[in-house]
Structure 1
Amino acid sequence: MASSGSILAVDDTPASLKLLTDILREAGYDVRSARTGQIALKAALSEPPELILLDIRMPDMDGFELCRLLKSRPQLADIPVIFVSALSETEEKVQGFALGAVDFVTKPYQREELLARVRTHIELHRLRSRLEEMVKARSATLIESEKKLRTSMFDSITALAAMVELRDPYTAGHQKRVSEFAVAIAREMGLNEQMIEGIRLAGVVHDVGKIRVPAEILSKPGALSGPEMMIIREHSLNGFEILRSIDFPWPVAQIVLQHHERLNGSGYPYGLAADEMLLEAKIIAVADVAEAMATHRPYRPALGIEAALQEIKEHRGELYDAAVVDIAAALLATGKYLA
């Protein structure tokens, strides 16, 4: 039976390490274990795994320091790290994500939840690697093969986006609808097919960074706390980090990075102003806001098309590009989009 993936499990407590290792091996994973940060680092360098499960509270070298060292090594930097720890405070999670971790599982954990997160991040890692290989292959592919390659690339991008929606069922289909609406806006603006293709792909993965946001925050029905909002706001930067090493023929990673920026500099993550934003990002921004308001969210029911129209019109030229708003409003008024 083929292995489901290679994992390095790190925990200084023998009983916890054995439990974790047994669960993963029963699920078909090839697991190596380490009880100290130094041993884990050597093991990862000698044979890089596909995923690292890492405890935080360990003597000599704690999990945060080990994560920092792992991410500082070029050959290990892209390996996803999941913290498995009894620490559950939001501040610890913020620190872990800042160091490059992709997820956080709190002890005591449920077996099925642990395996679901492990499976998701290994599949995401493989998809990302596959995309990198495909994009590199594109430059060496004959022109007549390009359409087939782009179709395969879009399929892989769609699978990448689906990983997010598996963890956030309330927004299932959100990225696809944003992509379709953004493409419609771009066509009405008369943009060339090259730009439209980039907008289509960026729309499909604009929220891919939410793969690093804990599921309990994504689906929280009430208002988010300050630290929780900080984690949510990291998703555009996380998306950029996931996509930036893939050599797309379009600025997909930059579009994803900028889709929450606003013309007056009030957006995030960098507070860019109008002339610093890509046109493609301005289009995705309007499509994203309109779709989010028109559909259901865990913290509120759908507000509807009229509310979406009011929002983008009220802030036309202030938060959102005027030309984009005018076309988006005209399209929404037809009743053919986001209904």
Structure 2
Amino acid sequence: MTDQSIAILVIDDDPVILRNIGCYLEDSGFIFLSAIDGASGIAIFEEERPDAVVVDLNMPGMNGLDVISRISAQSPTTPIIVVSGTGIIDEAVGSMKCGAWNFLSKPIREMQNLEDAINSGLRRAQSMRESAEYKETLERMVKRRTRELQLANDRTEAILIATVKSLSTVINMKDAYTGTHQHRVAIIAPAIAQELGMDHNGLEAVRLAALLHDVGKMGLPSEFLTKPSALDANEMMFIRQHPQMGYDILKDVPFELPIPEMVLQHHERLDGSGYPHGLSGDAILPEARILAVADTVEAICSHRPWRPAHPFDYARKMLTEKKGSAFCPECVDTCLKLIERRDPRLTMFIATIEGL
């Protein structure tokens, strides 16, 4: 039984299915709303704003995919569960691309499966709303700080560094792994940049970008960041939005160098296989290429919720195999050289990987 008045809209042209699902949901404590076609379902959704939607794919007039697209566009945090009798994988994939959150096949032999799907969607929706609110709060913090800097006409390096540290602390409050990861990348990346001959301003820009490169994860559901198993394709789609989210958070901060762009590009790859924009070659900033290598070696050698840390030999193999295709050869060679010669700038990181 549910503890709150949670409304579920079920859209299906089969009155028997509507009745069966409706009886079960009402017995489980949900408020049951129903529609026999897509158009009336959209109308009810817009008027009632239910907490979740269950929809069939094959209906006369407006089909299920059109309904999913309309509802998803209006309310991205409303869980949409498809219940279809086709059982065709392509339709399941197509519905997910349109915005569905889950897919169940008809007939539903265990109604508990439907309730589990609804409750899972409601939990994820709540997490997304909390993350969105947190992101808005963080953006307001950044904008407020920026206005203060502009009014005071004081954009000194010390204040910018203090702002970065504050953001980094906020990140660590949500996800300790991300915060620790960023600090380690901020050790590795500037060492690579210095070896490659970058000047002082460039080194500082790389360090600050490294400290903030995953700030966009503030906008992601916490359950994705801490999931103890590999993410599915739909969850990965959300994860891959974090460079863009990071850029959106930082773009109005008055950095002297393109730090937001470095954050945006740190998952781009030379061969165009990266994200979020599939940049390639010289379209990727040199600083972002350094971040990509530092980020990768640290991530491989660190514990993740879904796997233990890998030894450095594994990281060296992965980077070497992708040198020249995904990663900048000079950055890879420099990074591996620094670690192999136990460069004192990387003492903390080397001590960690030698303890594996």
Same fold (TM over 0.5): yes
Is the 1:236–1:257 Cα contact (8 Å) retained in structure 2? no
Per the alignment, residue 124 of structure 1 pairs with: 128
Q: Secondary structure at the match of 1:183?
A: helix
* CA shift in 2, pair 1:297/1:233, >3 Å: same
Is the 1:178–1:291 Cα contact (8 Å) retained in structure 2? yes
TM-score, length-scaled by structure 2: 0.62
Structure 2 gap segments, 5+ residues each: 13-17, 153-158, 194-199, 343-349
Q: Secondary structure at the match of 1:265?
A: coil
* CA shift in 2, pair 1:5/1:298, >3 Å: same
- 2:139 is the alignment partner of 1:135: yes
1:186-228 CA deviation, whole Å, 9 max, x = no partner? 3323646565444334336569879999x99x649xxxxxxx8
- 2:21 is the alignment partner of 1:16: yes
Rounded Cα–Cα distance in structure 2 between residues aligned with 1:68 and 1:46: 17
Worse-matched range after superposition: 122-131 or 54-63: 54-63
Per the alignment, residue 336 of structure 1 pairs with: 351
Is the 1:52–1:79 Cα contact (8 Å) retained in structure 2? no
CA RMSD of aligned residues (A): 4.9
Q: CA deviation at 1:160?
A: 6.6
Superposition map of 1:1-339 within 5 A: 8-12=8-12, 13-20=18-25, 23=28, 25=30, 33-35=33-35, 36-46=37-47, 48=49, 52-57=52-57, 59-60=59-60, 61-72=62-73, 76-85=74-83, 90-101=89-100, 103-104=101-102, 106=104, 108=110, 109=113, 111=115, 114-136=118-140, 138-141=142-145, 142-143=148-149, 157=171, 173=177, 175-176=178-179, 178-188=181-191, 189=193, 191=202, 196-203=207-214, 205=216, 219=230, 234=237, 237-239=240-242, 248-249=251-252, 258-267=265-274, 271-279=278-286, 281-291=288-298, 293-294=300-301, 303-330=310-337, 332-333=339-340, 334=342, 335-338=350-353, 339=356
Is the 1:84–1:105 Cα contact (8 Å) retained in structure 2? yes
1:145-197 CA deviation, whole Å, 9 max, x = no partner? 999987775566557768xxxxxxxxxx4x45543332223332364656544
Rounded Cα–Cα distance in structure 2 between residues aligned with 1:153 and 1:133: 12
Q: CA deviation at 1:21?
A: 5.9
1:61-112 CA deviation, whole Å, 9 max, x = no partner? 333211212344xxx25434332435765533432332234x3253652755
Q: CA deviation at 1:275?
A: 1.5
Could you tell me which amino acid in structure 2 is paired with residue 187 of structure 1?
Answer: P
Is the 1:135–1:248 Cα contact (8 Å) retained in structure 2? no
TM-score, length-scaled by structure 1: 0.64
Rounded Cα–Cα distance in structure 1 between residues aligned with 2:328 and 2:186: 16
Q: Secondary structure at the match of 1:325?
A: helix
Q: CA deviation at 1:294?
A: 3.6
Could you tell me which amino acid in structure 2 is paired with residue 181 of structure 1?
Answer: R
Rounded Cα–Cα distance in structure 2 between residues aligned with 1:156 and 1:7: 35
1:296-322 CA deviation, whole Å, 9 max, x = no partner? 789998652112123324543442124
* CA shift in 2, pair 1:268/1:19, >3 Å: same
Q: Secondary structure at the match of 2:68?
A: helix
Rounded Cα–Cα distance in structure 1 between residues aligned with 2:29 and 2:174: 23
Per the alignment, residue 155 of structure 2 pairs with: none
Q: Secondary structure at the match of 2:59?
A: coil
* CA shift in 2, pair 1:40/1:193, >3 Å: farther
Rounded Cα–Cα distance in structure 2 between residues aligned with 1:253 and 1:8: 41
Q: Secondary structure at the match of 1:53?
A: strand
Q: Secondary structure at the match of 1:139?
A: helix
Q: CA deviation at 1:44?
A: 4.0
Rounded Cα–Cα distance in structure 1 between residues aligned with 2:204 and 2:322: 28
* CA shift in 2, pair 1:326/1:276, >3 Å: same
Q: CA deviation at 1:235?
A: 5.1
1:13-37 CA deviation, whole Å, 9 max, x = no partner? 2332453466574xxxxx6734343
Q: How many residues align?
A: 307
Could you tell me which amino acid in structure 1 is paired with residue 213 of structure 2?
Answer: A
